[in-house]
């Protein structure tokens, strides 16, 4: 058995989690995921200012606090904190180990970079776990990587420990699924869970997986830590930012429709039955660019006549743009009716009118917008004020997913002794990646009385982003609720409940083993989270909006 824990789900996660995981109980490998699509843009901007940067500096500070502890306990550490500069981070870690007098062997994985075209800030392919495995096989205690898949942080250590061949697809797919559950840290232990009131999530612990040679795993957490691990928390994370039954990666394609979840005891959920297929022919890569400039002003509208006040200020600002001949390329207005009638506080008597502008030219979002807003201070609606003084504008980024031949990028394991070992590419599938045919739906519930109620009373949901697309997983926790949900929540019904999705392509996938539906809403997030084109730019709360929508629910389920 191999015990693999997680201590980070993003750049900025709980600083103390490394120490908590090292001291909380037995562990063989501790992993940390620091890279999201947005993070690559942040690291790219860091590197523009200082070419020696480009890695997650938080990780270096965490190692200063815990490197000796990890060595004492014999825990190996694997993290993708190297970002755009894994060699630079590895060098800093070696220097740190020398200063601390801790004899750890540091290795790193590099490669995956694509040539930067005009305007590209970063361009990196998602590598698999084979480079990590090579480093661990060579005796590394600490391995840092650049842009690898989140699951590679688990497939690499598992392949090294169990000696899996590159074509052990079932076992590798099991590790991919376990890695996907671990990658977002406390989201697997009750964090961000739709039924959060069941659990004590004031400070949830971080998850770990007990992996076995056949690729099966038990998801659990250290004793005495907060949160919980049950079938519902694991289901929620399994559906996070995935789409169809085939979950593709460079190590293996995991068939999510074969996953079985079984409660094995308190805070223990077994994952088994996972079938694997060869990886797809092409590697996914992410390109980030600086897309232009963005500015925002939020007008506060208090008391009576909110719609008329909003109409007035919109007309005034648009007129100012026209007179100046400087209307930004994109102008968006959104009125959030947060106000209440006869409110007991001024804040709850107020609505928010949000103006967002974007343009390739910073001047178009700076002085023109600031002047248009500020000059209205004494000449607009009664009670005029804004949440913050308008600024000069900030740069925003865009993300683009592309697919490249594996031979177009390098993949190199730099071992503790400095040797550079090229990592061969796993034999990919020659067949294109296709959706699995929709499985048969369960028998519908027999007709009966219904009541108008929120969907969230009978279904959980979790949502997130992949580039410009939103992913939304919805699941039922009883067989009766699943029989109703599978027939009720069609693409057409989803569009009715979430009107913002109506003009966009929506795809539904059915996962009966998980009693779940997974929806992909193409283009909802524009050019990705960094572009901040939407109020919720990463679609984190899209699922909660859906759960709050009312429809006719069978009384038997309520």
Examine the domain organization and report whether 521 and 539 are in the same domain.
yes
The pLDDT value recorded for residue 414 is 98
The pLDDT value recorded for residue 426 is 67
Question: Whole domain around residue 356: which residue ranges?
Answer: 287-398
Examine the domain organization and report whether 465 and 415 are in the same domain.
no
Q: Count up the domains in the chain and report the number.
A: 3
- Tens of pLDDT, residue by residue over 218-246, are 999 999 999 999 999 999 999 999 988 99
**Candidate from 34-48, 180-194, 195-209, 300-314 with smallest mean pLDDT:** 34-48
Residue 139 domain-assigned? yes
- Tens of pLDDT, residue by residue over 3-14, are 999 999 999 999
Examine the domain organization and report whether 276 and 297 are in the same domain.
no
Q: Residue 432: is its pLDDT beyond 80?
A: no
Examine the domain organization and report whether 411 and 461 are in the same domain.
no
Q: Residue 47: is its pLDDT beyond 70?
A: yes
pLDDT band at 528 (very low <50, low <70, confident <90, very high): confident
Examine the domain organization and report whether 263 and 358 are in the same domain.
no
For residues 520 and 424, the model is more confident at 520
Examine the domain organization and report whether 308 and 225 are in the same domain.
no
Q: Count of CB atoms within 10 A of residue 150's CB?
A: 22
Examine the domain organization and report whether 266 and 299 are in the same domain.
no
Residue 394 domain-assigned? yes
- CA 247 from chain centre, in angstroms, equals 15
The pLDDT value recorded for residue 325 is 85
Say which residue the tokens 């039924």 belong to: 195
The pLDDT value recorded for residue 259 is 98
CA angle 483, 485, 489 (to 5 degrees): 140
Q: What is the CATH number of the domain that holds 376?
A: 3.30.70
User: Where would I find the H helices in 74-140?
Assistant: 86-100, 130-137
Q: What is the DSSP string of 128-139?
A: -SHHHHHHHHTT
The pLDDT value recorded for residue 534 is 81
State how far the alpha carbon of 309 is from the alpha carbons of 334, 339, 380, in Å.
13, 13, 8
CB half-sphere exposure, 394, CA atoms < 13 A = 11
Q: Residue 427: is its pLDDT beyond 70?
A: no
Examine the domain organization and report whether 72 and 144 are in the same domain.
yes
Q: Phi and psi (nearest 5°) for 228? A: -160, 155
Q: How far apart are CA 409 and CA 115, in angstroms?
A: 9
pLDDT band at 455 (very low <50, low <70, confident <90, very high): very high
Examine the domain organization and report whether 257 and 346 are in the same domain.
no
State how far the alpha carbon of 139 is from the alpha carbons of 106, 175, 345, in Å.
9, 21, 63
Q: How far apart are CA 469 and CA 518, in angstroms?
A: 13
The pLDDT value recorded for residue 554 is 97
Examine the domain organization and report whether 98 and 150 are in the same domain.
yes
- Tens of pLDDT, residue by residue over 406-415, are 889 999 999 9
Examine the domain organization and report whether 100 and 204 are in the same domain.
yes
pTM of the model: 0.94
The pLDDT value recorded for residue 533 is 75
355 has which bridge partners?
A: 297, 333
The pLDDT value recorded for residue 231 is 98
Q: Residue 381: is its pLDDT beyond 70?
A: yes
Examine the domain organization and report whether 278 and 291 are in the same domain.
no
Mean pLDDT of the chain: 94
Q: How far apart are CA 68 and CA 328, in angstroms?
A: 54
- Tens of pLDDT, residue by residue over 146-205, are 999 999 999 999 999 999 999 999 999 999 999 999 999 999 999 999 999 999 999 999
Percentage, residues of the chain above pLDDT 90: 86
Residue 180 domain-assigned? yes
Residue 435 domain-assigned? no
Percentage, residues of the chain above pLDDT 70: 99
8 Å CB contact between 543 and 465: no
Q: How far apart are CA 274 and CA 345, in angstroms?
A: 54
pLDDT band at 431 (very low <50, low <70, confident <90, very high): low
Q: Residue 144: is its pLDDT beyond 90?
A: yes
Residue 437 domain-assigned? no
Q: Phi and psi (nearest 5°) for 507? A: -120, 135
Residue 16 domain-assigned? yes
Residue 417 domain-assigned? yes
Segment 434-453 mean pLDDT = 92
Cα torsion 518, 521, 527, 531 to 10°: value is: -80
- Tens of pLDDT, residue by residue over 315-346, are 999 999 998 888 999 999 999 999 999 999 99
pLDDT band at 389 (very low <50, low <70, confident <90, very high): confident
Which structure tokens are listed for 334? 């959104």
Q: How far apart are CA 180 and CA 183, in angstroms?
A: 5
Residue 66 domain-assigned? yes
- Tens of pLDDT, residue by residue over 390-423, are 888 888 888 999 999 988 999 999 999 999 999 9
Segment 282-300 mean pLDDT = 93
Q: How far apart are CA 54 and CA 502, in angstroms?
A: 39
pLDDT band at 371 (very low <50, low <70, confident <90, very high): confident
């Amino acid at each position: 058995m191999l015990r693999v824990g997680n201590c980070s789900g993003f750049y900025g996660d709980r600083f103390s989690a490394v120490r908590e995981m090292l001291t909380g109980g037995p562990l063989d490998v501790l992993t940390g995921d620091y890279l999201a699509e947005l993070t690559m843009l942040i690291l790219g901007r860091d590197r523009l200012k200082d070419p020696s940067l480009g890695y997650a500096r938080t990780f270096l500070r965490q190692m200063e606090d815990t490197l000796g502890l990890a060595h004492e306990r014999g825990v190996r550490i694997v993290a993708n904190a190297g970002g755009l500069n894994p060699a630079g981070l590895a060098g800093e870690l070696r220097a740190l180990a020398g200063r601390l007098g801790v004899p750890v062997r540091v290795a790193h994985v590099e490669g995956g970079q694509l040539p930067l075209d005009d305007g590209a800030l970063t361009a990196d392919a998602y590598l698999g776990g084979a480079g990590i495995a090579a480093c661990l096989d060579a005796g590394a205690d600490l391995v840092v990587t650049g842009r690898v898949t989140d699951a590679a942080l688990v497939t690499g250590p598992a392949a090294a420990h169990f000696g899996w061949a590159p074509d052990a697809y079932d076992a590798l797919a099991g590790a991919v699924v376990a890695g996907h559950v671990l990658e977002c840290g406390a989201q697997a232990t009750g964090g961000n869970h739709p039924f959060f009131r069941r659990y004590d999530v004031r400070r949830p612990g971080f998850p770990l997986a007990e992996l076995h040679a056949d690729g099966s795993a038990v998801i659990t957490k250290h004793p005495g830590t907060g949160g919980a691990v049950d079938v519902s928390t694991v289901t929620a994370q399994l559906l996070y930012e995935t789409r169809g039954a085939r979950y593709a990666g460079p190590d293996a394609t995991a068939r999510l429709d074969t996953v079985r979840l079984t409660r094995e005891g308190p805070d223990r959920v077994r994952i088994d039955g996972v079938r694997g297929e060869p990886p797809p022919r092409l590697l996914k890569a992410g390109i980030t660019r600086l897309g232009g400039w963005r500015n925002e002003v939020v007008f506060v509208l208090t008391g009576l006549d909110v719609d008329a006040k909003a109409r007035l200020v919109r007309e005034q600002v648009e007129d100012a743009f026209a007179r100046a001949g400087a209307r930004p390329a994109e102008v968006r207005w959104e009125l959030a009716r947060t106000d209440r009638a006869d409110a007991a506080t001024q804040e709850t008597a107020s609505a928010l009118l949000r103006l967002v502008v974007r343009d390739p030219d910073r001047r178009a979002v700076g002085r023109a917008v600031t002047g248009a807003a500020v000059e209205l201070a004494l000449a607009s609606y009664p009670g005029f004020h804004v949440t913050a003084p308008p600024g000069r504008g900030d740069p925003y980024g865009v993300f683009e997913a592309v697919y490249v031949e594996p031979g177009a990028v390098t993949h190199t394991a730099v071992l503790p002794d400095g040797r550079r070992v090229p990592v061969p590419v796993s034999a990919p599938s020659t067949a294109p990646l296709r959706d699995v045919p929709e499985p048969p739906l369960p028998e519908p519930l027999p007709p009966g009385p219904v009541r108008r109620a929120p969907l969230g009373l009978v279904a959980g949901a979790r949502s997130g982003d992949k580039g410009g697309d939103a992913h939304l997983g919805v699941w039922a926790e009883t067989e009766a609720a699943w029989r109703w949900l599978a027939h009720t929540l069609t693409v057409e019904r989803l569009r009715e409940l979430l009107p913002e999705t109506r003009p966009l392509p929506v795809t539904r996938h059915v996962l009966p083993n998980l009693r779940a539906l997974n929806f992909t809403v193409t283009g909802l997030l524009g050019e990705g989270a960094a572009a901040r084109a939407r109020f919720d730019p990463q679609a984190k709360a899209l699922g909660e909006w859906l759960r709050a929508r009312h429809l006719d629910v069978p009384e038997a389920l309520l």
